[in-house]
Chains A and B, each alone.
Chain A
């Protein structure tokens, strides 16, 4: 009886402090519905409470997802559940006293033929406001040769309110189940957006942009369940739209920053002459997908597979990408103590190519008067900057894996596996990356008092993703140019084109080791030690090596001296070291 009361009370408190970061550690789980045989027609709890807050300093980290900006809040919570004649229901309502702190759920089950549920939850998300004070810098060249900023709403406190309404219904007719679901996610509030004017100065301008985002998802499908065969088809239709107004900015006049001559317009696509232009515009997105799943089981063996086709479209720009892929898994037991598992997956991503029509302005004055930038430097550039953007996202990965599982002793299981992955990219300069993976894993229980688990994995990667010629330009001009003319010295495009070093953050070899040991000397004490280690390196770059090493030991303890108290404690340490080539440019101009 006491444990029942404790569970209900502790669950009530846990729900009321749901928004607190320690809520996950409150001592009791949510109350489970009562056993069917003893279930009354209705039972539940009703709670009333009040909270008082005292805050100090910035709340954007310590209370990033909590309501703490009220002095006091009244909260209410109600749970109701029951069952009668095959009709089961479960209702939860939690209101933390603020529209940003709500959680409601209701579900019904009518003789396992019709199941329906609806949920709604809301929470706040505080967002940072960058003061931009640190960006400013000056120069001795005169004019507007400076770095500066403007924050158009310096007192703003940014926050987004997240809301999620979700509902679904399942109708089961013998072996066939039809399901239908709808979800509506909303994000309201405001956040900070920025833009930069170039040439005349480096001028960062920050604005407040309102959130009015809505994401709707409709899911429909059917599931066939026979004794040895199951199949499911799901159609998903999702759209996203942000109806919040875009801030408008008039960019600075693109003049030479030191002399203020109006000779730099051909270096930009727009300046103050274009008037007010929108900043930070989010396009409407539409996505639909078709997914087919199937599974065949014969005795202890099984064969399963998934095929998905999805289309995602930027509605405003009429751009789209397509995903088409499938995977399959075969599991075959060999006798009572061995098994083989094989996986295969292949998919393709195809993104529309885009013709980018660059607005090529002509300089109003100076040596390049009447000329576009390519016309002013005909030996350095093609006749136009217009180009076709082919997507580096286009790829066709193929994955294959096989695993042998054995049971060499009672309560001891070992797995040996090999995996292969090949990623072929249609346009990116790294056309193909291949990965070979070997692993050895296992778990064992010794004398019912010691549980162990481990995994050792090694990966060898050929041609990992990287950025070719990303850093270290050749030293083409070691001394400053004479005079103030921008045309007498090294041009930045020449410097960028002379970069030599390839850079990456992906390894050519990676080793991963993890282990866990739990000792349970008696029913009231359990001690777990765990360790995780990963070492990754890339020694195939042309100018440098890259490496990342991380290790993480830890220990957990659970102790219950008697029925009156229990203690849980733990500690985890993690250290990660990254080594890479770091290159900064010494270029002024």
Chain B
């Protein structure tokens, strides 16, 4: 009997604060880690007395047991501030960071990250 085990851990945290009557500060974190692996894959290429005729690779290679293994970590950070300059005018600033870390690529590595800066103004009427 073979098996396939997978796990995932997810954590998040958000903080919202009002240090002054005119300012709001916020920060958010999201984190996720997931793994998957074949278990009890009891094939042993050594049980074959010879390489299968016509093939230039072992039919049951050691890499087969881990072929579908997966592991990745994803993290997202988001923070910013809204500040009321005057009655109708508010300034907004936000920074986002996100990273996907593919520690055990399947067909190809999908590791990547980005940072986004945002600045703007809002007029309330």
Contact = CB atoms under 8 A, between A and B. Distances in A.
Interface of A: 2, 5-6, 8-10, 12-13, 16-17, 20-22, 25-27, 43-63, 66, 68, 75, 128, 130-131, 134, 137-141, 145, 258, 480, 544-545, 563-582, 584, 586, 588
Given A6-B24, A58-B100, A577-B39, 20 more contacts: A9-B24, A16-B92, A16-B94, A16-B118, A22-B76, A27-B16, A27-B24, A49-B92, A52-B117, A53-B115, A56-B113, A57-B111, A58-B109, A61-B72, A62-B74, A258-B54, A565-B15, A567-B15, A573-B7, A576-B5
A579 B1 contact: yes
Interface of B: 1-19, 21, 24, 26, 28, 30, 39-41, 43, 48, 52-57, 59-60, 72, 74, 76-78, 80, 82, 84, 90, 92, 94, 96, 98-100, 102, 107-125
A5 B121 contact: no
A51 B116 contact: yes
A5 B78 contact: no
B9 A60 contact: no
A17 B94 contact: yes
A21 B72 CA distance: 17
Question: Which 8 A-B pairs give the minimum distances between C-beta atoms?
Answer: A49-B120, A57-B112, A582-B2, A565-B17, A22-B78, A62-B100, A58-B112, A569-B13
Contacts, number: 240
A544 B3 contact: no
A141 B78 contact: no
Q: From DSSP, what is the main secondary structure of chain A's interface residues?
A: mixed
Nearest to B99: A62
Nearest to A588: B52
19 contacts: A10-B82, A43-B125, A48-B121, A49-B121, A54-B114, A56-B114, A57-B111, A128-B107, A141-B54, A564-B19, A565-B15, A568-B14, A570-B13, A573-B10, A575-B7, A577-B39, A581-B1, A582-B2, A588-B55
A81 B7 CA distance: 47
A8 B123 CA distance: 10
Contacts of A134: 107
Contacts of B43: 584
Contact of B112 (A26, A48, A61, A580): A61
A130 B105 CA distance: 12
Given A45-B123, A54-B114, A564 B74 contact: no
Contacts of A55: 112-115
A469 B78 CA distance: 53
Given A565-B15, A573-B9, A57 B113 contact: yes
A26 B26 contact: yes
Contacts of B55: 137, 139-140, 588
